[in-house]
A and B are shown apart, each in its own frame.
Chain A
Amino acid sequence: MANAKVISFINYKGGVGKTTTTYHIGCCLAEHHGKKTLLVDIDPQTNLTFLCAPYEKWEEFRRRAGTIASMYKRFQDKIALDTKRHVWQTPIQIARGRIPNLDLIPCDVDLLGEDLGGGSVPGTFPTIEALRQNAKQFLRERQFLKLAIQDVRNSYDYILIDCPPNLYLMTQNAIVASDWYVITAIPDHLSTIGLRILQSKVNKIADMMRSASTFAGVVHDSISVAKLGGVVFVKVRIGGSLITNTHQRMMERVKELLGADLCFADVTTELIGYGEAAEMSVPVWHQDTQNARRATNKQEYNRITDEFLRRF
C-alpha cells in the first residue's frame, strides 16, 4: 500500500459542511472506489464520530481502545501513541453489513479542554519573542497528529481529517500533518470574506513553524505544512433547476479571489436528505427515504469525489 495522502477539511466557521463533506468523500472513496480510507475526527463536537456510529458503540470503543483524546494524553505523557489500537475498523453499519475499507479514529468531548488555545505557548499565534523562548515546545505540540498518523500511513490510500471550527492547536496539528487542506464554504457573503483570512492564517502557521524550527535549530526540510488543495462549495441554494444568482455571484467572486482552478467544479446543494442520512449514521446513498433518494440521485458527492481523486 502506498503512503496515504493526508487531507484536512478546514474552516474556522461552523456549519459550513466540513464534517458532512469529510464523511461523504471518505465513504465514497472507500465504498465506490475501493480506496482504503481512514477518517480522523479531531473536532471535540465528535460529529464525524457520531456520523459513523451510534453513541453506544462509540462508548464501547472508547472504553476498550480509546480516542484521539487518550492518544493526546499519551503524547503529553511521552508514551508511545499506539495508533493502530485506536483505529476503529469499519465502524459504519448499514442496513446490510458495513461500509468496507473505511476506518475511523474517533474523537471525544474530553478533547474540549485541550483545544482552547495554542497549547502551552501563550496565544494561538504567538509573538516572535514567545516563539523564540518556546520554540521546541511549540514545534512538539504541533506534531502530535503527524506522529500519530505516521504509524498507520502505510495502511491507507487516503487519510481525511475533520477539523474543529477554529484554528487552535488541533487544527494547527492537522495543517502540519496534512499534505493538503480543503476548505468547505457556503457561497454567501460572510463565508466568502473569511476565505482569504483563513488562507493567510494557514500561511502564518507555516511561517511560525519555520521560525520556530530556526530558533530550535531544526532543519527546515523536516517541517512541512499543508497546501491549499481546493474549495468545495456546499449547501448551495437552488431556485428551480438553477443556482440562485446570489450564490452564483459569490462563487464567481471566490474564483476570482483564489483562482478558478482551486474551486471544485461540483457543489452540494441544500437538501434535507443529507440531514436525514446523518440522523441514521449512514451516507446519503444508504438512507432509504424519499429525500435521501433525491439527494442520492443528484450524485453530488460522487462527482466531488471523482474530482477529489483527480486532484489528489
Chain B
Amino acid sequence: MARSKRTELLKTRAFLNRLEETIGSLPTEAEKEEVRAKIATLVDYLNSVNKALQSLPSQESANGLNKTIESLQALITKAQENPVLSGLAPRRRGTARKRTRVTTEEDMAIAKADVESFQPLPVDEIRSRLLNDRMCSMGRLRAIAAALSIATTDKMTRESLAHQVATSIANLKGYKKLGGESVPSTT
C-alpha cells in the first residue's frame, strides 16, 4: 500500500514540475494564482511527507497522505478540464478515450416513440423485432437503448442489446403493473 502511494507521489511530482513550467500559459490570472498557491503548499507538504516515509508512517501521517493525494487528484481533474493543461495531466495506462456516439435529438425522439410502440407487445415479439436488422438498424437499436438509459459499447452484439432492450421494456411495464398503474395490454 505504502509503496504504491510512494510511486503515485513520484509520478505526481513529475507532473507538478511539468505543470509549473507551463503555468504561464494558463488562460486567466486567477487560475494561475490558485494553482500556484496549491502547488506551493503541496510541494512543501510532499517534501515533509517524503522525509517521513523514510521510516514507517504513523496513522496520522498516513491520513495526511491520503488527504494530499485527494487534493492532488482534485487538482489533476481541474487541470484535465483546462484545454491548455489537459495534455500534461497523468493518464491511467490503457484507458483509451471513449468515442462519443452522437445521438441527435431527432434520433432520441424516434427512439422514444419506438419504446412507446413496443409497450403493448409481448417481450418475445419485441426481442424478435429488434433482432431483425431489416426492421431495426443497429443505430436505431442503440438509440432505443439510450432512450432506456442502457449503457452500450461498440463490442455489444445485436443479440445482447436486443435482449437488454426487450427485458427493460417488459420490466418497466411489469413494475408499473405491480404498482397498480394501468399499462397497455399485451397484444
Contact = CB atoms under 8 A, between A and B. Distances in A.
Interface of A: 50, 54-59, 93-96, 109, 240, 242, 279-282, 288-290
B167 A288 contact: no
Contacts of B174: 50, 54-56, 58-59
A47 B168 CA distance: 16
B173 A109 contact: no
B173 to A, nearest CB: 7
Given A95-B160, A281-B171, 20 more contacts: A50-B171, A54-B167, A54-B171, A54-B174, A55-B170, A55-B171, A55-B173, A55-B174, A56-B174, A56-B186, A93-B163, A95-B162, A240-B1, A240-B4, A279-B167, A279-B171, A288-B153, A288-B156, A288-B160, A288-B164
B175 interface: yes
B27 to A, nearest CB: 34
Given A95-B159, A288-B156, A55 B151 contact: no
A287 to B, nearest CB: 8
Contact of A290 (B123, B151, B167, B170): B151
B177 A279 contact: no
B168 A55 contact: no
Interface string B153-187: 10011011111100110110111011000000010
B171 A290 contact: no
B139 interface: no
Which 5 A-B pairs have CB atoms at the shortest separation, nearest pair first?
Answer: A55-B174, A54-B170, A288-B160, A95-B159, A95-B163
A93 B127 CA distance: 11
11 contacts: A55-B173, A56-B123, A56-B170, A57-B170, A59-B174, A95-B157, A96-B159, A240-B4, A279-B167, A281-B171, A288-B164
Contacts of B162: 95
Nearest to A93: B163
Contacts of A94: 163
Contacts of A109: 178
Interface residues of B, number: 24
B150 to A, nearest CB: 8
A242 B160 contact: no
A301 to B, nearest CB: 20
B122 interface: yes
B46 to A, nearest CB: 20
Contact of B168 (A58, A93, A240, A280): A280
Contact of A288 (B157, B168, B171): B157
Contact of B167 (A58, A59, A281, A289): A281
A59 B177 CA distance: 11
A278 to B, nearest CB: 10
B170 A280 contact: no
A72 B29 CA distance: 75
Please indicate which of the listed interface residues B122, B157, B161, B167 has the most CB atoms of chain A within 10 Å of its own CB.
Answer: B167
A285 B160 CA distance: 12
A94 B151 CA distance: 18
Contacts of B178: 55, 109
A280 B123 contact: no
Contacts of A280: 163-164, 167-168
A96 B156 CA distance: 13
Contacts of A288: 153, 156-157, 160-161, 164
Nearest to A290: B153
B187 to A, nearest CB: 12
A288 B157 CA distance: 9
B145 to A, nearest CB: 11
Contacts of B161: 288
A135 to B, nearest CB: 39
Contact of A55 (B159, B160, B164, B175): B175
Interface string B28-62: 00000000000000000000000000000000000
A106 B102 CA distance: 42
A242 B2 CA distance: 13
A50 B172 CA distance: 12
Given A93-B163, A281-B167, A57 B123 contact: yes
A147 to B, nearest CB: 29
Interface string B98-130: 000000000000000000000000110000000
